């Protein structure tokens, strides 16, 4: 059971906009910024958006993030087949004195 | 180009030990917190440990406290994870990261008899 809750799956057709939610509590998302990662198992996780809501060089602006209270979300617009991957939210947790990840959301491009 | 290369993974019996290494290049290593995360087969990403720039602060996930030790050698631009008393549930791909921003390709640890 992950400290941060994400839907296990999401899907969309090419060109659509999809959002992935991440729910936490006052000890994590409520107090700290959230990172979002894209991951294909067996490869290096890729930072999509950092805690300052910045996209590293090379990440298209189709990816955006927001946060409100103890929840955060990642939005992907203009969905492309190459976006099919696992997506994770992560942040620091005061109660655990460590980083916590969401359980991950598997995005399928139909 | 920022690069992180993990090594040291392998097959080990329950109760055994392994030392993972991560060689960094392309950035000012001594200026960054360094972390290890892992992914068990069929599971999601799990943060394991991190270490502050000067090594004065180290944090661990509860499941590895007392068994794993993170360390760094700024002269060698390297971070390490000493894993003792390994359990079957430690089987995973282990990734090294700089400031939770950039990650290596991972090294596989299999704990099995």
- Measured in degrees and rounded to the nearest 5, phi and psi for residue B20 equal -90, 145
- Closest-approach residue (CA) in chain B for A34: B100
Kindly state whether A59 is in contact with chain B, defined as any CB-CB distance less than 8 angstroms.
no
Question: Least CA distance to B6: which residue of chain A?
Answer: A44
Count Cβ atoms below 10 Å from residue A103 Cβ, excluding itself: 19
Q: What residues 27-46 of chain B have any CB closer than 8 A to a CB of chain A? A: 35, 37, 39, 44-46
Confidence band (pLDDT; 50, 70, 90) for A41? confident
pLDDT greater than 90 at residue B104? yes
A92-110 pLDDT, tens per residue? 999 999 999 999 999 999 9
CA-CA distance, B72 to A34, in Å (whole number)?
Answer: 26
**Percent of chain B scoring above 70 in pLDDT:** 100
> What is the percentage of chain A residues whose pLDDT exceeds 70?
100
Distance from CA of B17 to the nearest CA of A (A): 23
Q: pLDDT band for position B97 (50/70/90)?
A: very high
3-state secondary structure string across B2-66: CEEEEECCEEECCCCCEEEEEEEECCCHHHCCEEEEEECCCCCEEEEEEECCCCCCEEECHHHCC
Residue A53's pLDDT is 85
DSSP codes, A25-90: -TTTTTTS--EEEEE-TTS--EEEE-TTSPPPTT--TTEEEEEETTEEEEEE-S--GGG-EEEEEE
Mean pLDDT of chain A: 96
CA B51 to CA B34: how far, in whole Å? 5
Mean predicted confidence (pLDDT) in A46-55: 91
Higher pLDDT, B94 or A52: B94
Is pLDDT at A14 greater than 90 in this prediction? yes
pLDDT digits over B67-90, tens only? Answer: 999 999 999 999 999 999 999 999
Q: What is the mean pLDDT of residues A71-86?
A: 97
């Amino acid at each position: 059971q992950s400290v941060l809750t994400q839907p296990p799956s999401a899907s969309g057709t090419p060109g659509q906009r999809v959002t992935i939610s991440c729910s936490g509590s006052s000890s994590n998302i409520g107090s700290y910024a959230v990172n979002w990662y894209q991951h294909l198992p067996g490869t290096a996780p890729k930072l999509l958006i950092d805690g300052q809501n910045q996209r590293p060089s090379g990440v298209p602006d189709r990816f955006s993030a927001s946060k409100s209270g103890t929840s955060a979300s990642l939005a992907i617009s203009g969905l492309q087949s190459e976006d099919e991957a696992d997506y994770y939210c992560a942040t620091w947790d005061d109660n655990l004195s460590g980083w916590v990840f969401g359980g991950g959301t598997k995005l399928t491009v139909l | 180009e920022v690069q992180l290369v993990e090594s040291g993974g392998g097959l080990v019996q329950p109760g055994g030990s392994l030392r993972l290494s991560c060689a960094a290049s392309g950035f000012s290593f001594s200026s960054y917190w360094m972390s290890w995360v892992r992914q068990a087969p069929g599971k999601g990403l799990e943060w394991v440990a991190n270490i502050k720039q000067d090594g004065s602060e180290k944090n661990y996930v509860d499941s590895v406290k007392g068994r794993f030790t993170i360390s760094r050698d700024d002269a060698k631009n390297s971070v390490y994870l000493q894993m003792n008393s390994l359990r079957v549930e430690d089987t995973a791909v282990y990734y090294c990261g700089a400031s939770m921003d950039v990650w290596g390709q991972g090294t596989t640890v299999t704990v099995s008899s």
